[in-house]
Amino acid sequence: MGEWIDFDRWHECVEMERPGIIFEVSNQADLRLFTRCVVPLEVPFDWESRPVRFRVVPAPLPRRSDPLPEPNSRAD
């Protein structure tokens, strides 16, 4: 994981964006948000304090869903 960067530099995330990474944003209450680079950043509605820092983190690997179950046979 990358070093924490002051949120005043969030507009620089465009230059930091690379495949396979996302950003972790933290607010004054230490709530965390994982996001792509979106300027301006829309924070969750329940955040009562503004973001104060962010860092680069590896993007999670995609989760594969289970296969769909076989259809039920119908007796017509």
pLDDT of residue 68: 80
Task: Give, as one character, the DSSP assignment of residue 35.
Answer: E
pLDDT of residue 19: 93
Q: Which amino acid is at 57?
A: V
pLDDT digits (tens, 9 = 90+) for 15-26: 999 999 999 999
pLDDT digits (tens, 9 = 90+) for 32-73: 999 999 999 999 999 999 999 999 999 988 888 878 888 887
pLDDT of residue 56: 96
Question: Cβ of 1: how many Cβ atoms within 10 Å?
Answer: 9
pTM for the predicted model, two decimal places: 0.77
pLDDT of residue 75: 62
